[in-house]
Structure 1
Amino acid sequence: MTVRDDPAEAAYRRALALITALVTLVGVCWAVLTPAFRAPDEPQHVNSVLRLAYGGGWPAAGEALVGPAMDEARDQAALTTDVPGRHLDREGVPAFVAVPPTRDVDRGTVTRDNALADPVPPGTSTRGLEPEAVDQMTQHPPLYYAVAAGVLHLTGTAEARWDVQLLVLRLFDVALLLPVPLLTAAAVRRLARSRAAALVAASFTLFVPQVGHIMGSVTNDALVTVSGAMITYLSARVATGDLRPRTAALLGAAVGLGLLTKVMAAFAVPVVVAAYLLAPGPRARRGAGVLIAGGAALAVGGWWWLRNLLVLGTVQPVGIPDRFVEDEPHGLWYFVRVVVTSLTRSFFGNLGWLELRVPDAVFWTAAVVVAALCGLAVVRGPARRATAVLLLLPAALWCGVLVNAWPDYSAHGWISAVQGRYLFAGLLALGTGTALGLHALLGTRLRSAVPWVTGAAGVTAASGLGFGFWGFYQGPGQSVADAAARWAGWSPLTGPQLVLVGSVTVVVGAAAVVASVRFARAALSSRTARSASTAEPTMVAAASTPTTAAGRDASA
């Protein structure tokens, strides 16, 4: 049956396209809303892109410095100030709202003369330098930065004002977000044969404001996020019986892509192995799939970490020495409480350099709902074993953050490297688990709930953007108009252009809700028509033809 002959399928595709567009446009809104370099490690990420764009190579970890252009850009962006919504104002630090925006004509241009820092002699320690002077990103593989450098050259912005370059790179990361809702919807349809659950899954990231904020900044986590989505989707295919060598090769390549970006992708290896172990089919074909996937992962990106181990004696070298003040550990319970709280809060909505904190009730409620629905999906949902396999990825990442943070805490009393974005490789799994949990809870009623979920997702995304606008730009006693003028003053876009971006996003959000309503009606009509057409034959053959689960509406 063609899509034209199936109104429910056509309505589903329209709704999915609009939800995906909304996810992407929300990322664009974050890209233009967040003040320059007000995202975790963004100056260093941009600096590493510029170094590769201008042929500066990839120095050993700890031996890369921030270039003069980035030093100038940070000063012109007033990065040493505190934004008004910061959870705790620092004594002696000026307010961001008290600094007049740097005029466009006064913003520096990046050129070959100022992009690169003077090279550090090999083996030279940078421990005595200020942390802001060191670019620690060379502790990671260079794939993300090489691709981003290529984007600057392709767009003709390798030599441009720093704020224009920043926006181009942010939009590149937003483009990497675009496949995530599509892959999430595809995974859910593979596991549950449910269009309604697929649409719910596609909207998942809209309920997590931190996703739009991070994916609308310059960070190698953007490439880790999309590679994690690819790995999870392909693992869902394997766990449900796709044992073709081509799928194994693609799965291994996706793991390798992640490994050539950041070590977080290593936590996907157990997921791949579990998918093949639990997949239906001959043992020999499953074993061959593991070997093919493993070989592809090693060839594409695993070799980097093997090289580190053989040459440097460690999996990941330290890019910048820690400079925390020594303290006494306060016990295991304190460690667990602080790490779990920080990880959960920064997954859902610690904006900026984690200084804009969403209220505790918001992120704890969201965490409980997601955890409960994912648990329900594993216990009562369709394809329970496959769902459990996918959820191994965020679970492994979560445990990995705790384990990685413990040695420094036990030895020095301080907690570091605890950020929710480290879980973003597991976004597809969490979206899938949440949607399948709702599917198990509501059954065929989920079809009618899709418009409400889409609307709630849009409202949540808008609330996150509003929270960011207030926290970044609106000082005490100032009006919304004052904050909007400040935003326009700092942005490389004009005020009318910012209004256009916001207006298009609102229109697409409204269209996504309307499309979801039409999907629900089309799915109901399709089910009613199918029931009517089979009613008479069913009565005649009721005694000999029982109803089976396979006959359920695919849009349920």
Structure 2
Amino acid sequence: MMRERWPLLLILACYLLVGILYAAQVPDWQAPDEPAHYNYVRQLASGRLPIITDGDYDQAYLETITDARFAPEYSIVEIEYEDWQPPLYYLLLTPVFLLTNGSLFALRFTSVLLGVGIILLAYQIARLLLPEAKWVAWSTAVFVAFIPQHVAMLASVNNDSLSELLIALLLYLTLRWVTREGIRKLDDDRRWLIGLGVVLGLGFLTKATVYLMAPVLGVVILWQFWGNWQRLFQAGVLLFAPAFMLGAIWWVRNVAVYGGLDVLGTAAHNAVVVGQPRTAEWVNLYGLDGTIQRFFQTTFNSFWGQFGWMAVPMRAEVYWLLLGLCGAAVLGLLLYRFTTNQVPVQFRSKLPVLILWLVFLLTLAIHVGYNVTFVQHQGRYLFPALIPISLGFSLGLGTWLLLVEKPFRRERPLLVNLLPLAIGTAFILLDLFALFRFILPSLRL
């Protein structure tokens, strides 16, 4: 058993080393929205639940302070435009803030630890779906652990880390439930559904991105109980009642504070963030074609690594290599159905594949939809679907290696089992190169 786990332990150990290095070395506040997230925790530590108000967002001041690389003479105290966010992530960090006297590194390190859970769940999901292909699980964990932008985000103060962890947990539990063996019993279904509802409710208290899992779970129970309307109704109540009760804690509070039907606080947020670039302005400035081109290019670049406040890209050659990697993975995934006899797949039905696709497509739709109004071409908004993306990358790249080895008829193919090591080594080197070649020279005072 230990022999099978040591590659995962090695991945986690390397991730912690790289993550801690980023948390310690990246200059203070040089991660998207980090001062605003930090100030949310600071307000909780002082005994006040934040409320977003006029003055929490100042576009001109943000441009000034980021251009000045957050020099000490500029205060970050008034940067509080994340005050509309649900509180769970910040409540988790508040004891750390109090115990360490507000240490930014300690808060960053807590987020790094949350990343360990995401990597573990990515590994477990791949093992669940392809139990005989250990290389897929290791490769999936490697992609999740070492994409440079993902490392940079997990090593910052940002509620993305907890929201990703809860999405990964929901994805794992859902797949476990729909692929479990044995006779399905009503009591067993109840436990799974209530558990999923509680985790979904915690997601409602963490970040709006977790909401994408609500329609995914709705589709799952429709698939599982279609035709048995009584069971379908019961399943809906068991799943969504605990989620609704937890979410209502936040929704009722928002209605009481912001008024109207602003249950998420988005209307209050949009009224405060005046000056944030809007897509209509960019269409007038660059034209529709130019805006779309910028959307795709910036989303791709910043998915892999565009650091600081989107001001520090990597070299063009790096992105071209990564684009080639993407092309190879996509083509390999298309060829995958011809090599399924070499990669034992234990899908019980088409439902697990549908779940993975739904998570990816809904995440993509949210990213595109948000950019219809605001200019937010940040690839990190695709990270809620990072596990399905990484699983697809692993299968796609591995398919090419299986095709190369097919004529040798090996019982245990060699190249595909070396894929996690090769990809892991390459991405760790890229992480270090990005930190010391791009981030620190560009962002240090």
What TM bracket, shorter-length normalisation? Answer: 0.7 to 0.9
Q: Calculate the TM-score normalised by the size of structure 1.
A: 0.65
What is the match of residue 267 of structure 2?
317
Correspondence for 1:244 among 189, 193, 197: 189
What SS does the corresponding residue of 2:274 show, helix, strand or coil? coil
Q: Deviations over 1:187-216 (max 9, x none)?
A: 122212222322222212245111100000
What SS does the corresponding residue of 1:219 show, helix, strand or coil? coil
Query: What pairs with 1:445-484 in structure 2 (closer than 5 Å)?
Result: 448-474=415-441
Q: Which amino acid aligns with 1:209?
A: P
Partners of 2:37 and 2:82 within 8 A in 1: yes
Aligned mates of 1:210, 1:295 — CA distance in 2? 36
Q: Deviations over 1:485-505 (max 9, x none)?
A: x97xx8xxxxxxxxxxxxxxx
Aligned mates of 2:6, 2:226 — CA distance in 1? 35
What is the match of residue 94 of structure 2?
149
Aligned mates of 1:372, 1:279 — CA distance in 2? 32
Q: Which amino acid aligns with 1:350?
A: Q
Question: RMSD across aligned C-alpha pairs, in angstroms?
Answer: 3.5
Compared CA separation, residues 228 and 61, structure 1 to 2 (3 A): farther
CA displacement at 1:41 relative to structure 2:
0.8
CA displacement at 1:324 relative to structure 2:
4.9
Compared CA separation, residues 32 and 455, structure 1 to 2 (3 A): farther
CA displacement at 1:305 relative to structure 2:
4.3
What is the match of residue 364 of structure 1?
323
CA displacement at 1:406 relative to structure 2:
1.1
Q: Which amino acid aligns with 2:201?
A: G
What SS does the corresponding residue of 1:418 show, helix, strand or coil? coil
CA displacement at 1:23 relative to structure 2:
2.2
Aligned mates of 2:125, 2:158 — CA distance in 1? 26
What is the match of residue 432 of structure 1?
391
Query: What pairs with 1:43-122 in structure 2 (closer than 5 Å)?
Result: 43-62=35-54, 64=56, 80-81=67-68
- Say if 2:34 is the partner of 1:42: yes
Q: Deviations over 1:118-154 (max 9, x none)?
A: xxxxxxxxxxxxxxx441111211211121112222x
What is the match of residue 295 of structure 1?
241
Q: Which amino acid aligns with 1:17?
A: L
Q: Which amino acid aligns with 2:273?
A: P
- Say if 2:258 is the partner of 1:266: no
Q: Which amino acid aligns with 1:291?
A: V
Aligned mates of 1:438, 1:244 — CA distance in 2? 36
Q: Deviations over 1:58-88 (max 9, x none)?
A: 224546589xxxx9xx99xx85436xxxxxx
Task: Name the stretch that deviates more: 136-145 or 195-204.
Answer: 195-204
Q: Deviations over 1:421-446 (max 9, x none)?
A: 22222222222333344566639756
Task: Name the stretch that deviates more: 223-232 or 291-300.
Answer: 291-300
Q: Which amino acid aligns with 1:313?
A: L
Partners of 2:126 and 2:140 within 8 A in 1: yes
CA displacement at 1:345 relative to structure 2:
1.6
Partners of 2:52 and 2:80 within 8 A in 1: no
Aligned mates of 2:436, 2:12 — CA distance in 1? 23
Compared CA separation, residues 169 and 45, structure 1 to 2 (3 A): same
Query: What pairs with 1:333-412 in structure 2 (closer than 5 Å)?
Result: 333-358=289-314, 359=316, 360-372=319-331, 382=345, 383=347, 384-408=350-374
Correspondence for 1:418 among 377, 386, 398: 377
CA displacement at 1:308 relative to structure 2:
4.5
Compared CA separation, residues 324 and 143, structure 1 to 2 (3 A): closer
Correspondence for 1:29 among 12, 21, 25: 21
How many percent identity over aligned positions? 24
The structure with the larger Rg is: 1
Q: Number of aligned residue pairs: give it.
A: 406
Aligned mates of 1:63, 1:458 — CA distance in 2? 46
What SS does the corresponding residue of 2:106 show, helix, strand or coil? helix
Q: Which amino acid aligns with 2:44?
A: L
What is the match of residue 170 of structure 1?
108
Compared CA separation, residues 57 and 385, structure 1 to 2 (3 A): closer
Correspondence for 2:4 among 7, 12, 27: 12
What SS does the corresponding residue of 1:217 show, helix, strand or coil? coil
Partners of 2:57 and 2:273 within 8 A in 1: no
Correspondence for 1:208 among 141, 147, 160: 147
CA displacement at 1:473 relative to structure 2:
3.2
Query: What pairs with 1:125-204 in structure 2 (closer than 5 Å)?
Result: 133-153=78-98, 156-157=99-100, 159=101, 165-194=103-132, 195-204=134-143
